[in-house]
Structure 1
Amino acid sequence: MTVRPVIRRLGVGIAAGLAAVLALAGCSTGGDAVATGGDFQFVSPGGQTEIRYGDADRKKAPEIAGESLTEQGKRISVSDYAGKVVVVNLWGSWCGPCRGEADDLERVAAATKDSGVQFLGVNVKDDRSAAQDFVRNNGVTFPSLFDPPGRSLIGLKGYPRSTVPSTIVLDRQHRVAAVFLKPLLDTDLRPVVEQIAAEPA
């Protein structure tokens, strides 16, 4: 082996490393630095299952969007509900606790919709017909995305997409205001949603 090929390989490695560093720097600097730096990154201190974020600590959620579960070909997104508090619930027809909390979520959705609150389900790891049966059998009236691989939540950095059911409450600016990594009763969720809905727009 000659010295020249070794130097060439080293040069390629250094160039690749420099490109990676510059790419990372590009994510945190420049004209969109504030927007990028403000992205939500999930952390659960001490493994907490209920996390609230004060106004100063809230970060903008990425767009959550996908195909409607019940209206094939129709796209639904959080941005469709501008100015509303959006309660995003991850669920699956195969999930026992999801069946247990379905009527609780419905009660809170009905009680808060006139306050500018919209519920949006994200159906994961599921079969479309089984998920549609779940919606019918449990009287779920709010829309859901049909998203078996959970791709619509990839932008929620660090969020445990395998935790089902779980619920994310977005304030009127669609910043993450609360996270529940557990099944919910209406008495758990309603006071939180009402408090966030009562905040100044």
Structure 2
Amino acid sequence: MAVVGPGPVGSGARVTEPIGDHIAPSQSSRQAKPRWFRILVTLVPALAFIGLLWIALAGTGSQTESGSGAPSFELPLLDGSGVLTDEDLRGKPVVINFWASWCIPCREEAPLLEKTWRTYRDKGVAFVGVNIKDAESDAKRFVREFDVTYPTVRDLDQRLTQDLGVKGLPETFFIDHRWTFFGAISGDETGDQQGTVVLGAISEDELVSNVETLIKRARSGVEANR
């Protein structure tokens, strides 16, 4: 038995083909995929993962250069009392510390940061903690445990993290009264946790020295404007 169908377009002819050529494939034949297809199915997820990883790394970008303008931001306060923006901090020397509750060096330097904040807050220095890659409940527990009294925000979409070029945790950034990036300090790499590079805790000498420099720059700016 044969099926009669149209011939090539424009030929006006009609062709006869064996009906056996049009029998629907069996279940077994549908499952017998070509080797190249099976390889492609295996490679696609891997290639997609590599692509996403590249995008994530590319989004981090290079670290902000000294003397360049610091980025603007608006982030929710951890205690739920509202938001903190760059406009709230401009005109002051600012110390911004990135941390997470699971980061051991973050825990090591937390008492030092709080101590330094209490020493210099009456001199106009602002401290801000930026919590990333953390559960809110764990972050709040950390703040209570170390009695952190300076403002803490959450960078949920990690935009500020990327804008500043954070390399790992913990990392501390210094911004002067003109909202100009002054520098960043982090210890040597100590390992990797939760896909994040873990860096050593900041030393007291490094922290105090940079805070003192920020204060001097602010005073010089005030005197220059008189």
TM-score, reference length from structure 2: 0.60
The answer on whether the counterparts of 1:64 and 1:153 sit within 8 Å (CA) in structure 2 is: no
For 1:100 and 1:150, how far apart are their aligned partners in 2?
23
Seq. identity, %: 32
> Residue deviations 1:49-102, cap 9 Å, x none?
xxxx4xxxx011111331111125x11122202210110000000100000000
**Among candidates 61, 65, 70, match of residue 79 of structure 2:** 70
**Among candidates 87, 92, 96, match of residue 84 of structure 1:** 92
Greater relative contact order, per chain length (Cα 8 Å cut-off, separation 6+)? 1
Letter in 1 for 2:92: K
RMSD between aligned residues: 2.0
Where structure 2 has 5 or more consecutive residues not aligned to the other structure, the ranges are 1-61, 188-200, 222-226
Partner of 2:183: 178
For 2:103 and 2:91, how far apart are their aligned partners in 1?
31
For 2:151 and 2:166, how far apart are their aligned partners in 1?
22
Partner of 1:193: 211
Letter in 1 for 2:102: W
Partner of 1:150: 158
Where in structure 2 are the equivalents of 1:106-117 lying within 5 Å?
106-117=114-125
**Among candidates 149, 167, 170, match of residue 165 of structure 1:** 170
**How many residues are matched?**
146
For 1:132 and 1:160, how far apart are their aligned partners in 2?
22
Measured after TM superposition, the shift of residue 43 of structure 1 is 6.6
For 2:87 and 2:64, how far apart are their aligned partners in 1?
24
Letter in 1 for 2:136: R
Where in structure 2 are the equivalents of 1:117-136 lying within 5 Å?
117-136=125-144
**Among candidates 60, 63, 73, match of residue 42 of structure 1:** 63
Measured after TM superposition, the shift of residue 181 of structure 1 is 2.3
The answer on whether the counterparts of 2:71 and 2:160 sit within 8 Å (CA) in structure 1 is: no
Where structure 1 has 5 or more consecutive residues not aligned to the other structure, the ranges are 1-40, 45-52
- SS state of the match for residue 160, structure 2? helix
Compared CA separation, residues 129 and 82, structure 1 to 2 (3 A): same
* Greater Rg over alpha carbons, structure: 2
